[in-house]
Structure 1
Amino acid sequence: MIFRVRADRLVSLVLLLRQRGRLSATTLARELEVSTRTVLRDIEALSAAGVPVYAERGRRGGFALLPGFRTELTGLNHEEALALLVAGSRRGAQAFGLGSALASAMLKVVDALPESYRDTAAGAVERLLIDPETDLLARRQVAEEVPDAIVAEVRRAVFAGHKLRIHYAAVGRAPRWRTVDPIGLVTVRDQGYLLATRAGEDRTYRLSRVLAAEELAEPAQRPDRVDLDRAWQERSTRFRTGGDQVTVLVRVNPARREDLVGTALAVLAEATEADGWLRLEVTFQDSRHAEWALWQLAMNAEALAPQWLRTSLRNRAAAITTRYGAPS
């Protein structure tokens, strides 16, 4: 495994030099996510293997390949091919622990292009930005961080059809170990989920709450085929209609509609009022979730019902007014 990882890294190093020309050891280390010392060792290994890489000294120096050097380095490994299949969403690849594989695969894809297309493609990519980390209001879209080792272990169990042992921290409960039969992986709004069954009952686990994972040798009890989209829709419906969800009737400024809808579980009804504001009936996970969502919208929304929510928001506003009513 260690040798395969290093071989993939050496291939990526050569492709970086082929496509970008001269690069410093610091830049190579950043691109390959290793130390500069590791880069220098890799350069020595390539030279010993006959790859014509040389160093240029000076302030603008770095490492480069002899002009015209080319070799067949474009074969994709399993994880790189898988990364390309989920590359419709760059964040999806990150959520499934395939970010580095995707970067490596794309280097190989670009290298496989005819030279006349390669420069055109590189120039076009510079003019496309998909799903940036911040929006126009500089609000950062925070993706959940899940250790690659955990995601890789979960992913292996899903693909191999083996049982999976996870150390899971459910909300409001102490972490504990449980053994599940994995069905598939889903990513929604930068959040990754594991769909599984446990003792024959459907279960959905948030990957960011998995503290450790272990693929077992025992085969999972699951059907040979699965309609993952349908399974997710069914679980989403059960989630929205069960538990402690609350339904709220709210007026909202149309300019802030998406902010409200983005925090709600579901929109049950919607209409436009005479003054242009929108009247929506929405559901939230629980009372605290509803209060938090309406408070974020300040004067751009008004909770019409239920009364306990209006009272709670009024009491919170009164407390803020009292605190700031007197000089500091």
Structure 2
Amino acid sequence: MKLERLISIIYKLLNNEVISATMLADEFQVSPRTIYRDIDAICAAGFPVVSYQGYKGGFGMMDGFKMDKSLLGSYDVASLITVLSSLSTVFEDERAQGTIERLQTIGEEHETPILAVDLDTRRTDPDALPHLRAAIKERMVVRFEYINANNERTTRDVEPMKLHFKFGNWYVHGFCRTRQEYREFRLSRMLNLTPTQETFQPNSESKDAASSGRAGLDLAEEVVVRVGPEALADALDEFHQADKQFHPDGSMTMRISVYRPLTARWLWSKLLSFGSGAEVLEPPALRDILKEQLKNTLKLYEVV
């Protein structure tokens, strides 16, 4: 613990012009006398610590003393700081904050950030990510209720292996004891997440979620959609990687590869959300499904 405190103090001295012993003592929950002893030890290790007297006095590093920047370039440091700052905010991770402080000592001073990362957590339970991260680290089974793509509500016991942030959503990959296979669960569809007291040992045959996703691409079918000028922005937001052909009238034809589109409810929802701004051209069976969905919706608004 003392060694970690000494290292942290060194980086704080490198990142601040002057920092008082009282501030350091409060942060590390030790007495000012302990901080003075730590400063002596840092000086003995060869760091040029300077003591400043007066009302705003304290300790700092000698002017001109910098860490070696040859390991990482300023661009690398700035990018790492940006990503770590996002993770630190999402998980309230003090260790990540400590790493940020260390990286700041080898970054360029007063450099304007050119990268921003927003790991959106509005669609998840505020406690879900910290609970899952702790469960992954401690190899603890978690239990939750899950709403699948068919709107079925089931209770799952899962051995969590990895957290993913992709397509603007958080996912957890792990072994589902209920289904006896590796699955990926979207956090926004998880309810009543509870860490259990049962631990598990990772299976050597654990599959990566990404590899299972790539396997599904071999079974993908092409969906052709004509998009009107009034829905171009929404369509590009949702299907930016689709093959696109623009027409003189301002409309666009998209060709989207989708795994089993006739059962992909997420796809139906997105296409219907465009309203009259999009028309499915192929496959014909998908057109029929959307027609039926629209008829059922209209029934809800019929005058009784």
TM-score calculated relative to the size of structure 1: 0.54
Matched, 1:18 2:5: no
1:249 and 1:291 mapped to 2: Cα distance? 12
Distance 1:196 1:43 in 2: 45
- Contact kept in structure 1, 2:226 and 2:251, CA below 8 Å: no
> Do the aligned partners of 1:154 and 1:213 also contact (CA within 8 Å) in 2?
no
Secondary structure (helix, strand or coil) at the match of 2:110 reads helix
CA distance in 1, matches of 2:185, 2:54: 51
Cα contact 1:272–1:278 (8 A) shared by 2: yes
Q: TM-score, normalised by structure 2?
A: 0.57
Q: 2:184 aligns with which of 201, 204, 207?
A: 204
Contact kept? 2:173, 2:184, Cα under 8 Å: yes
Q: Provide the aligned C-alpha RMSD in A.
A: 5.4
In the alignment, what sits opposite 2:213? 235
- Give 2:101's match in structure 1, choosing from 100, 104, 107: 107
Q: Counterparts of 1:1-328 in structure 2 under 5 Å?
A: 4=1, 8=4, 11-12=7-8, 15-22=11-18, 39=27, 41-42=29-30, 44=32, 46-47=34-35, 49-51=37-39, 64-68=58-62, 89-90=83-84, 93=87, 97=91, 99-111=93-105, 113=106, 121-124=108-111, 126-132=112-118, 142=122, 144=124, 145=126, 146-157=128-139, 164-171=140-147, 172-173=152-153, 175-176=155-156, 178=157, 180=159, 184-189=162-167, 191-198=169-176, 201-206=181-186, 209=190, 211-213=193-195, 219-223=201-205, 228=208, 231-235=209-213, 237-238=215-216, 249-253=225-229, 254-261=232-239, 267=242, 270-282=244-256, 283=258, 289-290=266-267, 292-294=269-271, 296-297=273-274, 301-304=277-280, 306-307=287-288, 309=290
**After superposition, what is the alpha-carbon deviation per residue over 1:140-172, rounded to whole angstroms, capped at 9, x for unaligned?**
885744342430331343xxxxxx411122114
> 1:296 Cα shift?
4.5
Q: Shift of residue 129 of structure 1? A: 2.8
Which residue matches 1:137? none
1:14-42 CA-to-partner distances (Å, cap 9, x unmatched) read 533531335799xx89xxxxxxx953845
The separation in 2 between residues aligned to 1:55 and 1:149, in whole angstroms, is: 46
1:207-226 deviation digits (Å, cap 9, x = unpaired) = 56382335856533323xx7
CA contact (8 A) 1:92 1:187 kept: no
Bigger fraction of residues in helix? 1
Structure 2 Cα separation of the partners of residues 56 and 310 of structure 1 = 78
CA distance in structure 1 between the partners assigned to 2:155 and 2:85 by the alignment: 27
Structure 2: gaps of 5 or more residues: 40-49, 69-77, 282-286
Structure 1 residue runs without a partner (length 5+): 30-36, 75-83, 134-139, 158-163, 323-328
Query: What whole-Å deviation, never above 9, does each CA across 1:288-320 have from its counterpart, x for those lacking one?
Result: 644543454456x22345145357558869999
Aligned to 1:79: none
- % same residue: 12
Change (3 A) 1:303 1:98: same
Higher gyration radius (CA): 2
Distance 1:291 1:189, change over 3 A: closer
Judged with a 3 Å threshold, the aligned counterparts in structure 2 of structure 1 residues 44 and 173 are, in CA distance, closer, same or farther, namely: farther
Change (3 A) 1:198 1:317: closer
Cα pair 1:250 1:279 within 8 Å, conserved: yes
SS in 1 for 2:174: strand
Distance in 2, matches of 1:295 and 1:55, equals 69
Count of residues in correspondence between the two structures: 261
